[in-house]
Structure 1
Amino acid sequence: LISVFSQVPSVLKGKVIDETGEALIGVTIIEVNELNRSLNGTVTDLNGNFTLRLSNPDTKVRISYIGFMTEEHTISGQTFLEVDLEEETQLLDEVVVTAEAKKIGGFIPVSERDLTSAVSTVDMKELEEIKVSSVGEMLQGRASNVDITMASGDPGAGMSVRIRGTASISGSNQPLIVVDGVPFEIELDNDFDFSAVTQEQFSGLLNIAPEDILTIQVLKDAAATAVWGSRGANGVLLIETKRGVKGKTTFDYIYKLSILQQPKSIPLLDGDSYSMLMLEGILNSGSTEIPKELAYDKNWEEYHNYSQNTNWLDEITQTGLAHDHNFSLMGGGESALYRFSLGYLDQEGTTKGTHFTRFTSRFNLDYHVSRKLLFSGDLSYAYSDNDLSYRESTEHYQDARGVRQLAYIKAPNMSIYDFDPEGNMSDNYFSPGENFQGSGNRWYNPVAMANESTWNRKQHRLRTKFQLKYNILDNLVFQSFVAYDIDN
């Protein structure tokens, strides 16, 4: 005799109402097991009725509805269930909603949907986790039609900025830079050649700490730059710094540690391969005169100085470290808003002998005398100390090159340090006055110049601004400011 037992699924019917007895539409009814997993579910109809097929007569059902408290009921063979849901009430704290119109051009509030001119905006919140040390590094690849070229890979080096390409052959192509409504003046010598790259003059932008910047707007076309006149013909960079906000005084400290490394270079020949290639070139040209520097004559007294395998690029390259400290204090009440910040950057370059140190401080104060009258004051000071790698003067050489450029083409069979005829290395750098590549003035020892040469640039910059703003009407504002910029 074989007996088979099966559990017949049961059906639960019911109705869901609120405290007033009115039926609730769309209430969710779910069957759950002992592990709180959902098995079956349904919702109430227009009259608050529901029908739920249960997998087990002894189970639990959960009833939930937006704005009402969730309930659970144990079903022990029941076939009908009437539920009276209670409303869920929660107390909320005060909610304050504030809005600020976006300013395009630094003067007139224009919403983004009404904007018709060519403007790109870079929000610093998107770059908080990215290690950058200058405005140029911020903008690289962040705004369309903006080309930024760094003068070199050295820390603190200048940069060249182009908005929508080069507009002039003989004149300046650099855009106008405006910081908090005040043009950032760049002083040029009277004999300065505008057709040359002017990135060194723009290195002053490195003295604005990235953590002090709120947004950067790039004005590209004539409509966007019209308010700045002819000075904005090459475009305008509008930099807005952070200011105080209403609330309790808050302190922020940010420390960033960065490890800087040069990317892997193209493969370079060693000394032996280089000498063989040069000899092949000489012989293929039909000449039989072989320079002593390539002959590998062991009886020659300079043999050891011209039989090495020197990787000049590796010899001048190092792993750099950057320490970036930033401290800020901000707050304010109904009338006064303030922000104070300090920044210190200590960056070691990837080329030996390069180093950049920057100290910045900034204080912003906004005082609302009334709803219509506002006084504001800004004070900023920046100091930078920059050790750059050696570079030839453009006055003497049209194709002036730096240490790293020469390291790529310097003969790798030459020695870094001087050897005597017996092959004993000295502490003196090997820098012959003439060699088969050319004059020693141009074909100098890159390691010697990287370690021993000095090119130091110090800069002090103090900027102050006092502003008066009076709202005459909703669409009529009187604004006046005076600014001082001392650069040494």
Structure 2
Amino acid sequence: MYKTLLLSLLILFTTHASLWAQSRDITGIVRMEEATGGFAGATVLIKGTTSGTITDSNGAYRLTVPASATTLVFSAVGMQTVEEPIGGRKTIDVQLQTDTRQLNEVIITALGTKAERDKFASSITTVEGKNIAKTGETSLLTGLSGKAAGVLITRNGGDPGAGAYIQIRGQNTINGNIQPLFIVDGMPVSNASDNLGTAAGNGIVQQSRINDINPEDIETLEVLKGASAAALWGTRAANGVVVITTKKGRDTNGKVNITVKSTVSFDRVNKMPALQQTYGQGSGGLYVQGQRNSFGDRIADRTGGADAYITDPTGAAYQGFVTFPDGSQRYAIASGTLANPHGGKNSRDTYDHTTDAFQTGHFTDNSINISGGNSRSNFLVSYGNLNQQGVIRAYSNYQRNTARVSVSSQFTD
């Protein structure tokens, strides 16, 4: 019994001594590129296993590895994974590099300048282009209305193609310009209404230049509101920045994508003012043709029948006649008196001329987008046509034709 117990302990000690001789400790420090200190929280694993450790606050680690281990794997969030062979080394130091392929959380802040969204010290609102296009609005700015917090957008007028007033984070001047800076694919774009910078000319409300962009061509739109926006883009960005990125071609393995969209919309005046049908034209209760300063005679008190015109040139109240384009002639009607308030006005007919000025407006918006590419080259060709008729019959139309060609190619590595 004693000999058996002694032999068992000897075998157990020999086995542990053999395993201890086969395992070894590896130490090292994990750093980040262009950084002086260590990288804390990096993961160090034995490849092919779940055994590992993490670096301390100084980036140092210690890991016991078996003799069968051949490679250590170093990884961290936002960094490229590094694999190092163990070989006969007891100290393995590693430098991690930023993973530049993770672009979903990267934003463009200035010409060629990129920053991580969670490290950017400015308030940013991002709107996808498809959300602007599906609003049914004919212009980019009106389609943005209600999509970005802290952004006020007001139409300059109801005319087709009329521009819009955009204001970011409140009024900061009494009579100065508070329009934000617009950047389209890295280039500043003017949003002035015309060369004089006024909103209207010759009684016609002008459109904004930014509305020349077809909403179907927009990939994303970002609104920068903070003071850092002005620091990046200069004094013109003091009122905020609107960064617009247009669509580009993509790698489709040589296939061609064709997208066609057609929209038809109808507009009507929501409510008309009630038509007054109690009194005729005149002054002080008397019918006076052409007088609109006050109320005339009561229409219900007229005798009915045809009106009495003054056709005798020798008459004291004769005022001549008017010849209309169709060749017909119209004479004046005798004005009323205290004894006869209706004068020569006998008809009780009333007329609603609102339909002469207003109509059912409509617009058609057609667009086509052709794109494709491969790993080295891509292209995008788009065309859009907008034809709008307003609710006012005369001089109320807007037409817009937009065409874009975007081609990029990587000739060499």
Same fold by TM-score greater than 0.5: yes
Preserved CA contact (<8 Å) 1:218 1:238 = yes
1:250 paired residue number: 257
Aligned residue runs from structure 1 range 46-445, under 5 A? 99-106=103-110, 107-186=112-191, 203-247=208-252, 248-265=255-272, 268-273=273-278, 293=291, 294-296=295-297, 301-302=332-333, 309-353=350-394, 354-370=396-412
TM-aligned CA distance change 1:142 to 1:325, over 3 Å: same
Question: Amino acid of the residue matched to residue 122 of structure 2?
Answer: S
Helix, strand or coil at the partner of 1:227:
helix
Preserved CA contact (<8 Å) 2:130 2:216 = no
String of CA shifts for 1:237-282, please: whole Å, max 9, x gaps.
11111001011221111111112222234xx332324669x98xx7
- 2:180 and 2:118 map into 1 onto residues whose CA distance is 26
TM-aligned CA distance change 1:169 to 1:116, over 3 Å: same
Task: Quote the RMSD (CA, aligned, Å).
Answer: 3.5
TM-fit CA distance, 1:186: 4.8
Helix, strand or coil at the partner of 2:208:
helix
TM-score, normalised with respect to structure 2: 0.55
Percentage identity across paired residues of the two chains: 29
- 2:135 and 2:198 map into 1 onto residues whose CA distance is 35
Preserved CA contact (<8 Å) 1:271 1:310 = no
1:422 paired residue number: none
Question: Amino acid of the residue matched to residue 409 of structure 2?
Answer: Y
2:55 paired residue number: none
Question: Amino acid of the residue matched to residue 262 of structure 1?
Answer: V
String of CA shifts for 1:106-145, please: whole Å, max 9, x gaps.
4433344334312211112334543221111211111122
TM-fit CA distance, 1:221: 2.1
Preserved CA contact (<8 Å) 2:132 2:215 = no
Moved more, 345-354 or 122-131: 122-131
String of CA shifts for 1:40-75, please: whole Å, max 9, x gaps.
xxxxxxxxxxxxxxxxxxxxxxxxxxxxxxxxxxxx
TM-fit CA distance, 1:323: 1.4
TM-fit CA distance, 1:312: 4.6
Preserved CA contact (<8 Å) 1:134 1:206 = yes
1:38 paired residue number: none
Instruction: Give the unaligned 5+ runs of structure 2.
Output: 1-100, 310-331, 334-343
String of CA shifts for 1:84-125, please: whole Å, max 9, x gaps.
xxxxxxxxxxxxx97544324244333443343122111123
TM-aligned CA distance change 1:291 to 1:111, over 3 Å: farther
Moved more, 318-327 or 165-174: 165-174
Preserved CA contact (<8 Å) 1:322 1:346 = yes
Helix, strand or coil at the partner of 1:141:
coil
- 1:202 and 1:171 map into 2 onto residues whose CA distance is 20
Question: Amino acid of the residue matched to residue 190 of structure 2?
Answer: E
Preserved CA contact (<8 Å) 1:322 1:348 = yes
TM-aligned CA distance change 1:125 to 1:187, over 3 Å: closer
TM-aligned CA distance change 1:177 to 1:128, over 3 Å: closer
Question: Amino acid of the residue matched to residue 205 of structure 1?
Answer: I
Helix, strand or coil at the partner of 1:211:
helix
TM-aligned CA distance change 1:309 to 1:339, over 3 Å: same
- 1:305 and 1:270 map into 2 onto residues whose CA distance is 20
- 1:213 and 1:274 map into 2 onto residues whose CA distance is 56
Instruction: Give the unaligned 5+ runs of structure 1.
Output: 1-96, 283-287, 372-488
TM-score, normalised with respect to structure 1: 0.47
Question: Amino acid of the residue matched to residue 103 of structure 1?
Answer: I
